[in-house]
Copies of this chain bind each other. A is one copy, B any other.
Amino acid sequence: MRNEFLAVAVVKGLAMDAVQRANSGHPGMPMGMADIAVTLWSRFIKVDPDNPTWPNRDRFVLSNGHGSMLLYAMLHLCGFPITMEDLKNFRQWGYPTAGHPERELELGIETTTGPLGQGFANGVGMAVAEEHLRARLGADQVDHHTYGFVSDGDLMEGVAAEAASLAGHLGLGRLIYYYDDNRISIDGTTDITFSEDVDTRFRALGWHTVAVDGHDREAVAGATLQALDNQEQPSLIICRTHIGAGSPNKVDTPGAHGAPLGAEEVKLAKENIGIPAEEDFWAPSEVYRFMSEAMERGRAARREWESRDRTADWHTLHTRRPVRLDSPGFEPGASVATRNVSGKLFGQIGRKVPGLIGGAADLAESTKTVLPGDEGFSRSNRLGRNIHFGVREHGMGGIVNGMALHGGLRPYGSTFFVFTDYMRPSIRLSALMELPCIWVMTHDSIMLGEDGPTHQPVEHLASLRAMPGLWVIRPADATESVEAWEMALNRTEGPTVLVFSRQGLPVLDRSGTEGLAARGGYVVRSGDDVVIMATGSEVSVALGASDLLESHGVSARVVSLPCWEAFEQQDPDYRQEVLGRGIPRVSIEAGATFGWEKMVGSDGLAIGIDRFGASAPHQVLAQQFGFDPRTVAERVLSHLSD
């Protein structure tokens, strides 16, 4: 008790000092949640500071990531490789103690948080992964909990609402969240905007809830025991806390949230909580010893776990091997919607990539992402690999990220391409964290037809190509789609968006170009007078235009550019060879032309659609918006004669 009391005070002191020295940051949350953190880390959580990536460790998510100093202080005191030097350089260039936690498993940081609600959903994904892997591999291999801290801000975010609803539905009993009910937000007390009954809301979602005084460590421990005891429901421990607890003048005020307390107030706070007021970054050895001893629980568990034999299944799931897919065999000229290729491949992918798990946001039948013969992941079937996310794109995004963060699995999420907008913050975090998530997006352009402009992507290819670290692949036909899936499955350094058509596309004759989609771009048909480059459904339009141009004596090269990011990784000679040197360039894509100047150059012609679409059959839209071979050929001729 004395040790816990002291540890809490030290954590508060470190948080105050680090924020003060950085002259920016959030002291209020670490001070408000220090009692909970120390209770959880000293009494419950099973991690091993010497082996931070031990696969069966408990997971911890700091969803209210602005309180990063709380996590850094805990990791430091527990013996993870975050040094006092790191704490003293909080929020500085080159140090791991960033303003918001940035995933670094070796340091004990499980996920990147800060954008509110994302961590909440990540934890749900981790809990899904744990349930699934425990069912597949047995509890002697996988058997842990997922803990997390969440704030008012997290609970106000829609992504958390979606994830919470699904977590309750799935009965994720190993998921335990501590809600920092401090009743203060940036703009004032939460009663200016947040008066819902959180307890009742979460019970309505199927959660176990319990409310405690967040500064009463025995009460927090008791509630944790209750939560551990409940194996059928995720738990929300509602902790009434005081933001900036310990600061005599800023406690319970928005002023404690996002700015240094000020040197004078820090001194007063230190006096108030009983640590040396004149000393900065004070951490006595007894606190290190106490926390380190508490870590023995995790160390012992890890040693015991290491001594067990790993099953063959374990190794299969935890070893990554290159994947080669057998093409189902498509007849050149046949019409195949590229989305349908996923359907044809999923049985094979499921066998070759045993870690594949995922699903769609209530559109699996449309996006064709169903593993055959799988009854679905549910409360009663933890072995299922098809996850029904419901109409919860954003929750899906955060949950897929969480499954990827957990390890052992290869998760994907799927919906219509236009709805990447609904889950964009999660896609961005998958890119920032370099997670090998696969985002399977269908209905890829205005050519989805009758559903109209609300469902028709226009600017989405450009907006995702602009995102660092993300690969966007839009294959031209069925055979490129097989290669696209292979690229996505073999990409381990970051996420991939697969962009598939709703409508049938002619299968191209790929003799001589097999496998070239992996280079991002390649010549489909040679020609010397003009280069027409295209992606997806527009490659066959380009071929049609090229036929028409031939009758005008114009030899048009056709280039397929399914993946700009892969193409940019090719050596300059190859790229020049494909795009041509000194030959006029034209691009066609049924999307915004924004960004295509890079490919066609200032004198080139970019054919696209720089307005919203319309509701009509896709053949009509192709005509109206000029994505038919005749119009393209005319525009190319007119461009050449300019």
Contacts and interface: CB of A to CB of B under 8 A. Distances in A.
Interface of A: 22, 24-25, 65, 91-94, 98-100, 102, 112-117, 152-154, 156-162, 165-166, 168-169, 185-188, 190, 192-201, 203-206, 254, 360, 362-366, 376, 378, 388-392, 394-395, 418-419, 421-422, 424-425, 428-429, 431-432, 449-455, 458-459, 462-469, 592, 594-595, 597-598, 601-603, 610-612, 614-617, 620-621, 624
A91 B92 CA distance: 56
Nearest to A25: B450
B114 A454 contact: yes
A102 B458 CA distance: 17
Contacts of A365: 186-187, 254
Nearest to A22: B450
28 contacts: A93-B615, A100-B615, A156-B390, A158-B392, A158-B394, A185-B362, A186-B365, A186-B366, A187-B360, A187-B364, A192-B378, A192-B388, A193-B388, A196-B206, A201-B204, A421-B424, A421-B425, A432-B453, A458-B468, A462-B466, A462-B595, A463-B463, A463-B467, A465-B594, A466-B594, A468-B592, A468-B610, A469-B611
A81 to B, nearest CB: 18
B390 A194 contact: yes
Contact of A451 (B100, B390, B451): B100
A112 B456 CA distance: 14
B422 A425 contact: yes
Contacts of A429: 454
Contacts of A598: 594, 597
Contacts of A614: 93, 98
Given A169-B194, A388-B193, A624 B93 contact: yes
A197 B204 contact: yes
Given A185-B390, A196-B205, A624-B93, A395 B616 contact: no
Nearest to A114: B454
Contacts of A196: 165, 168-169, 204-206
A17 to B, nearest CB: 16
Given A158-B392, A391-B153, A454-B113, A200 B204 contact: yes
B100 A452 contact: yes
A32 to B, nearest CB: 17
Given A156-B162, A388-B188, A602-B602, A98 B615 contact: yes
A141 to B, nearest CB: 28
Contact of A193 (B199, B362, B595, B597): B362
Q: Which of A24, A156, A169, A617: most chain B CB closer than 10 A?
A: A156
A280 B522 CA distance: 52
Nearest to A26: B451
A452 B102 contact: yes
A204 B193 CA distance: 14
B115 A422 contact: yes
A193 B166 contact: yes
Given A115-B422, A186-B362, A459-B467, 8 more contacts: A93-B614, A113-B454, A157-B422, A185-B390, A187-B365, A197-B204, A201-B201, A463-B466
A100 B454 contact: yes
Given A365-B186, A601-B602, A612-B469, A99 B422 contact: no
A210 to B, nearest CB: 16
A594 B595 contact: yes
Contacts of A187: 360, 362-365, 388
Nearest to A158: B158
A206 B195 contact: yes
A459 B424 CA distance: 12
Contacts of A389: 193
B616 A92 contact: yes
Nearest to A394: B158
B612 A115 contact: no
Contacts of A421: 424-425, 428
A205 B197 CA distance: 6
B363 A156 contact: no
Given A156-B162, A601-B601, A452 B114 contact: yes
A541 to B, nearest CB: 19
A381 to B, nearest CB: 11
A165 B194 contact: yes
Contacts of A158: 117, 157-162, 392, 394-395
Nearest to A254: B365
